């Protein structure tokens, strides 16, 4: 029955990396400390972050875009008005891409413009257009730092939740001694990691299924369903961002693999089951987000079925394995999470499913009439043996983040 496993693939990523899977948008403003930002890109990447760099016009007088392009591995943006760059990743897209915006160095002028809510260049526009946390690392002459105008601007930014890293004291490029030096690259990485808080699933093996299954009828036809895989992929992504080693078993979908996720592509329910059982022994958490076909044709025709002249066609279907129930029935089982897509009496049916399949948690959602499948947003009702939580309509990425946080919390409660 259960497939024997001899070799599991190498795990992807390193939970010791404090910024693994974090998208950091590094803004560099005009000041002599801009040269230190090149080193910062290296340190951020060493910490596991994906880094994209935006230079202000003045920063580009001190350092070149080429340096940052080579170090970050991505094209560097310097202007709002670059049509080809906007076509590749528009500034709003860039603002959404960022999990963190870090402006280092932040000059006195940039701080003043941020504090006043300007959006007259790419970097200030991004800082307004993002929902990601913004941190600034000031660097300037000590007199400029101490000026009441600068301090008032900083106080206003702090009030709005902008985090301020440094500056340090010491000798300055201009010859002065005092406060206003950019923090060292390693210190900035540590500040950013500390500000993000602990990663809930650091080093935990998580197995996720996603997408539909296709059950072949003949070489050209199959029985499938409308699952896009987006929810499951978002869950895999959120788990990886929480520090987990994630294996994602994906049915046929058109989605990019999230960073630091090991993906195994399958087609049918039986292939999905085999892939799951090849990896489940190592998993501490199993999240079954796939819409697994309950039935498959009894046999797959070797050749394309022909119209026989009859007005009806009968297909004999046999039941597929219930992968989720099988995993939940294992003697040594991971923390087991199922999904329930319901068209009616959602809570009642989902709770019954939680109990019948012996799950630790079920995420229920309403489907049909433009809800659930093939959409970017969703709403979930989480049910577990003695609790419930409603996650209101949101982007699937955000929902996945909240779901993963709840899984981590419930699993810790079970373990302790």
Round to whole Å and give the CA distance between 199 and 404: 11
The minimum distance between CB 280 and ligand C5P, in angstroms, equals 12
Q: CB-wise, 48 or 338, nearer to ligand C5P?
A: 338
User: CA 190 → CA 19, 152, 157, 197, distances in Å?
Assistant: 9, 26, 21, 11
Residue in 95, 137, 323, 354 binding ligand C5P, rule: CB under 6 A = 323
Chosen residue from 28, 290, 391, 403 binding ligand C5P by CB under 6 A: 290
Token couple for 96: 């959404």
**Contact between 337 and 285 (Cβ < 8 Å):** yes
Give the number of residues in contact with ligand C5P, rule: CB under 6 A. Answer: 14
Which of 21, 320, 365, 378 touches ligand C5P by CB under 6 A?
A: 320
* Shortest Å distance, C-beta 352 to ligand C5P: 10
127 included as an active-site residue: no
Phi, psi dihedrals of residue 388, rounded to the nearest 5° = -155, 155
Which listed residue (22, 250, 285, 292) binds ligand C5P by CB under 6 A? 292
Q: Which of 26, 269, 280, 408 binds ligand C5P (CB under 6 A)?
A: 269
Binds ligand C5P by CB under 6 A, chosen from 150, 262, 288, 378: 288
Stretch near ligand C5P under the rule CB under 6 A, chosen from 14-22, 114-122, 284-292, 403-411: 284-292
- H helices, E strands: number in the chain: 15, 19
- Scored b (16 or more CB within 10 A) or e, 164-200 reads bbbbeeeebeeeeeebbbbbebebbbbbbbeeeeebb
CA quadruple 241, 244, 249, 254: dihedral, nearest 10: 10
Out of 184, 187, 322, 395, which residue is the one contacting ligand C5P (CB under 6 A)? 322
The correct pick among 109, 218, 294, 398 for binding ligand C5P (CB under 6 A) is: 294
Q: What single DSSP character describes residue 169?
A: E
Q: Which stretch binds ligand C5P (CB under 6 A): 14-22, 114-122, 126-134, 322-330?
A: 322-330
Shortest distance in whole angstroms from residue 315 CB to ligand C5P: 18
Active-site position among 8, 146, 149, 174:
174
If we measure between CA atoms, which residue out of 12, 199, 13 comes closest to residue 99? 199
Q: Can residue 340 be called a binding residue for ligand C5P (CB under 6 A)?
A: yes
353 interacts with ligand C5P by CB under 6 A: yes
User: Cis omega before residue 371 (within 30°)?
Assistant: no
Contact letters for ligand C5P, residues 193-212 (x by CB under 6 A)? ----------------x---
Tell me whether residue 30 or residue 372 sits nearer to ligand C5P (CB atom): 372
Residue 395 touching ligand C5P (CB under 6 A): no
- CA triple 295-297-300, angle to 5 deg: 145
Which residue, 190 or 346, is less far from ligand C5P as judged by CB? 346
d(CA 132, CA 135): 10
Of 226 and 304, nearer to ligand C5P (C-beta) is 226
Those residues whose C-beta lies under 8 Å from the C-beta of residue 374, and which sit 6 or more positions away, are: 226, 228
Choice between 141 and 209, CB closer to ligand C5P: 209
As a dihedral over the C-alpha atoms of residue 43, residue 45, residue 51, residue 56, rounded to 10 degrees, the angle is 20
- Which of 114, 231, 324, 410 lies at the binding interface for ligand C5P (CB under 6 A)? 324
In angstroms, give the least distance from the CB of 267 to ligand C5P: 14
Q: Is 396 in the site for ligand C5P (CB under 6 A)?
A: no
Strands 222-223 and 215-216: antiparallel
Give min distance, CB of 372 to ligand C5P, in A.
13
Cis peptide before 167 (omega within 30 of 0): yes
Separation between Cα atoms, residue 216 and residue 223, nearest integer Å: 6
Residues at the interface with ligand C5P (CB under 6 A):
209, 269, 288, 290, 292, 294, 320, 322-324, 338-340, 353
Catalytic residues: 174
């Amino acid at each position: 029955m259960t497939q024997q496993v001899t070799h599991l693939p190498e795990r992807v990523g390193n939970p010791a990396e404090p910024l693994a899977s974090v998208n950091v948008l590094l803004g560099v403003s005009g000041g002599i400390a801009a040269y230190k930002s090149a080193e910062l890109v290296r340190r951020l990447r060493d910490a596991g972050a994906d880094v994209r760099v935006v230079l202000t016009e003045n920063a580009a007088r001190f350092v070149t875009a080429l340096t940052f392009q080579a170090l970050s591995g991505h094209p560097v943006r310097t202007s709002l008005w670059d049509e080809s760059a906007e076509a590749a990743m528009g500034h709003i897209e860039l603002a959404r891409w960022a999990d963190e915006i870090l402006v280092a160095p932040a000059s006195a002028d940039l701080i003043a413009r941020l504090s006043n809510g300007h959006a007259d260049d790419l970097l200030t526009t991004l800082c307004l257009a993002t929902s990601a946390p913004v941190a600034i690392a000031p660097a300037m002459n000590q007199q400029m730092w101490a000026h009441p105008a600068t301090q008032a601007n900083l106080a206003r930014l702090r009030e709005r939740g902008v985090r301020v890293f440094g500056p340090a004291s010491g000798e300055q490029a201009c010859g002065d001694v005092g406060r206003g030096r950019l923090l060292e690259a390693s210190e900035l990485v540590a500040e950013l990691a500390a500000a993000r808080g602990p990663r809930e699933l650091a080093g935990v093996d998580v197995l996720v299924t996603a997408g539909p299954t296709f059950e072949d009828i003949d070489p050209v036809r199959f029985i499938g369903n409308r699952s896009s895989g987006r929810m499951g992929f978002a869950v895999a992504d959120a788990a990886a961002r929480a520090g987990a080693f994630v294996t994602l078993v994906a049915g046929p979908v058109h989605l990019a693999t999230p960073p630091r996720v090991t993906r195994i592509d399958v087609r049918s329910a039986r292939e999905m089951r085999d892939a799951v059982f090849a990896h489940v022994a190592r998993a501490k958490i199993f999240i079954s987000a796939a819409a697994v076909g309950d039935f498959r044709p009894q046999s797959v025709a070797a050749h394309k079925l022909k119209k026989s002249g009859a007005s009806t066609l009968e297909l004999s279907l046999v039941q597929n394995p219930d992968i989720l129930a099988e995993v939940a029935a294992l003697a040594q089982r991971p923390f087991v999470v199922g999904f329930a897509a319901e068209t009616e009496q959602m809570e009642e049916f989902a709770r019954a499913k939680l109990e019948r399949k012996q799950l630790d948690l079920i995420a229920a959602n309403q489907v049909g009439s433009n809800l659930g499948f093939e959409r970017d947003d969703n709403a979930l009702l989480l049910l577990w043996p003695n609790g419930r939580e409603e996650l209101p309509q949101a982007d699937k990425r955000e929902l996945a983040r909240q779901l993963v946080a709840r899984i981590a919390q419930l699993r810790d409660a079970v373990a302790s």
